[in-house]
A = this chain, B = another copy of it.
Amino acid sequence: MPTHDMTAARGEPDPAATDECMIDDELISELGADIVTRSADIDPRYFTAYNEAPGPRPRALVRPRSVDDVSRTLALCMRLGQPVVPQGGLTGLARGAFALEGEIVLSMERFTGIESIDVSAGTITVRAGTPLQTVQEAAEAAGFTFGVDLGARGSCQIGGAIATNAGGTRAIRFGMMREQVLGLEAVLADGTVVSSMSRMLKNNTGYDLKQLFIGSEGTLGIITRAVLRLRPKLAAPATAMCRVADYATVVRLWERMRAVPEVVSFEAMWPSFYRYVGSHTPDVLAPFAGEEGFAVLIEYATSAPGCDATETLEACLADSFEAGLIDDAALATSQRQARDMWLLREGLAIDALPNLVNFDVSLPTGELGTFAERCEAALQARWPGIVSLFFGHIGDGNVHIGVSLVELNNTLADELDRTVYAVVQEMGGSISAEHGIGVLKRPYLSCTRSDAEISLMRRLKAALDPKHILNPGKVL
């Protein structure tokens, strides 16, 4: 069994790993040279996170072409005690899909494609390596909309999106990935294929095993295929940006807008975030000056035949204006304008801030205003003048925070994490709304989960992966 340092984060290949060649050979002999790439030949993209230096070079890269390939890989790794990291599109932000020292990578990129679409039931059957956007486009072509959308749609894979229970901007309407999954197939640590490819919305026959694999970041099994729920096709959306006086009024606006069943997105930008992106997003003219107040992006899209989305959203906004909830509103009159509003909200501009650290937390919607105040105060108390920008999908309680420190090293990064998570913990929130735990948030899991919960998670992990070969060092 190879030496496996669960605490190792990054570094060069472990020179002490004398059996490295053996792993390559064993894998090639089991799966063939087409499926397995030797350590020295692995392209750095398989071990380099976005905007980071390369991590440890994996011992081997396995790129299965079938479920059976996945099964045989795991059966072999189980026998040898060889840890495996399943890899999707590598768009996660918690570094959950990168190898730690001495691990092999199992990339699902070749097991890809739509297997079938059932129009009457409204389901699509897909392979894990299929990019989200391919699923969205296949759904559209068949007269449907897929319920999850997020910025990384072109690169992220459906298997990774399920393994991390991805959220995105439409969760208030359609839920997260978990709510899209009707059936799932996964391979257990010992290579057993557990196929629960139900195509029904209702199926109460014993334990709902798919739930084990959704959101557990590849630590309990490797997802190979899924049956996903499709939604009736949405016509072109209407998009608007509103100026709102304060967070309490943002909440009142949300309480009113959520009653409109076709509101797809409700995204809030705190004043300092809006000011920053408004003046730093190239080629985008912010719809109104952001000197004061919050900006709220609202998207409305309906599948109802014959409904004019723009007219409906306009009426909703007029109504909210009358009620004194909105100070100003801009309704996009072109796709370009709508795209610009989204560019502001996506806030890629803040990536240019020095030493940016991103947070992704959740609290009950009504408490996010107080949270932001307390969090900012705690940061200012420790680092006077620190830049912290708040924005997010507040309808589902999720806020993102971009924090920029003048100076950053591992000790300061840890102190920054602890400062933010202490406020989250004190207010009973969650330290990861949609990005998962991975490696980066693992030290802070106990800020959100109790000893009893973590102990039960460990019990599940031990039951499903007794040799700890599935993505060890992640989550737990």
Q: Which chain A residues have a beta carbon within 8 Å of chain B's beta carbons?
A: 118-123, 164-165, 167, 171-172, 175-176, 178-179, 188, 192-196, 198-209, 211-212, 214-216, 220, 232-233, 251, 254-255, 258-262, 302-305, 319, 362-366, 393, 395-398, 428-437, 441, 445, 448-450, 452-457, 459-460, 462-464, 475-476
Q: Inside 8 A of A195's CB, which chain B residues have their CB?
A: 450, 452-453
Residue in A172, A205, A459 with the greatest tally of chain B CB atoms within 10 Å: A205
Q: Inside 8 A of A397's CB, which chain B residues have their CB?
A: 121, 199-202
Q: A121 touching B202 by the CB < 8 A rule?
A: no
Q: How far is the CA of A161 from the CA of B120 in the complex (A)?
A: 28
**How distant is A327 from chain B, measured CB to nearest CB, in Å?**
20
Copies of chain A in the complex: 2
If A196-B453, A206-B476 are given as contacts, then 17 extra A-B residue pairs at C-beta distance below 8 Å, sorted by A number, are A120-B254, A123-B364, A165-B208, A175-B179, A192-B452, A194-B456, A195-B452, A199-B428, A202-B398, A205-B441, A205-B445, A207-B212, A207-B460, A207-B475, A233-B259, A259-B303, A462-B463
Q: B201 touching A171 by the CB < 8 A rule?
A: yes
Q: A207-B216, A429-B200, A453-B206 are in contact. Are A120 and B171 (CB under 8 A)?
A: no
Q: A262 touching B259 by the CB < 8 A rule?
A: no
Q: A258 touching B396 by the CB < 8 A rule?
A: no
Q: B205 touching A214 by the CB < 8 A rule?
A: no
Q: B434 touching A193 by the CB < 8 A rule?
A: no
Q: How far is the CA of A437 from the CA of B123 in the complex (A)?
A: 25
Q: A204 touching B452 by the CB < 8 A rule?
A: no
Q: B259 touching A305 by the CB < 8 A rule?
A: yes
- The residue on B at minimum CB distance from A459 is B463
Closest 9 CB pairs of A and B: A120-B366, A211-B211, A463-B463, A201-B396, A121-B364, A200-B397, A202-B433, A232-B259, A200-B362
- The residue on B at minimum CB distance from A261 is B261
**How distant is A361 from chain B, measured CB to nearest CB, in Å?**
9
Q: A449 touching B206 by the CB < 8 A rule?
A: yes
Q: How far is the CA of A375 from the CA of B186 in the complex (A)?
A: 32
Q: B366 touching A255 by the CB < 8 A rule?
A: no
Q: How far is the CA of A431 from the CA of B397 in the complex (A)?
A: 37
Q: B200 touching A204 by the CB < 8 A rule?
A: no
Q: How far is the CA of A199 from the CA of B427 in the complex (A)?
A: 12
Q: How far is the CA of A456 from the CA of B193 in the complex (A)?
A: 11
Q: Inside 8 A of A232's CB, which chain B residues have their CB?
A: 258-259, 261
